[in-house]
Amino acid sequence: MSRTSELVKLPGAVAAGLFSRKGFLEEFEGALTEAEAGEMAHLCTAITMTMEMQGRLLGRMADQSGWDSFYGWMTWGPEMSIVTIHDSMSIVKGRQTSFNQVIKAMTESADAEPIKPGGKGEPNANIG
């Protein structure tokens, strides 16, 4: 079973997808059109890379590394939320989900099967 198939089974999940570091949509399932999922992949890639760069800058400024293993980020609102861990994204209904459960499932999924070379993009570096 694919990683996205497992993620959309989580309580409150609306959609799930995988994206490459180049912003390509690798796979998706759920209540998004392919165009919407592609747009989400581009946005998630851009935000993830920005967060990684911010962490590295803060680490250098503090003379401490430690953000090189950036895991992900989350944006939440009253109805819908986006959770991104490594190369995966999940859109969930915040009132119907456990964020701890979503983050745990996404982290385990990404650690078990990161995007492999040969996909549309390139593999994520430094998984876990």
Provide the pLDDT confidence category of residue 116 given band limits of 50, 70 and 90: very low
Question: Is 54 a residue whose pLDDT tops 70?
Answer: yes
What proportion of the chain, given as a percentage, has pLDDT over 90?
Answer: 52
**Count of residues for the chain?**
128
What proportion of the chain, given as a percentage, has pLDDT over 70?
Answer: 81
37: tokens are: 């999922």
Residue 19, beta-bridge partner list: 25
- Domain ranges in the chain? 3-112
Residue 33: CB atoms within 10 A of its CB come to: 9
Provide the pLDDT confidence category of residue 99 given band limits of 50, 70 and 90: very high
Q: Which one is the CATH code of 3-112: 3.90.1150.10, 3.30.450.30, 3.40.50.2000, 3.40.50.720?
A: 3.30.450.30
- Of 60-64, 99-103, 105-109, 124-128, least confident by mean pLDDT is 124-128
What is the structure's pLDDT at 67? Answer: 57
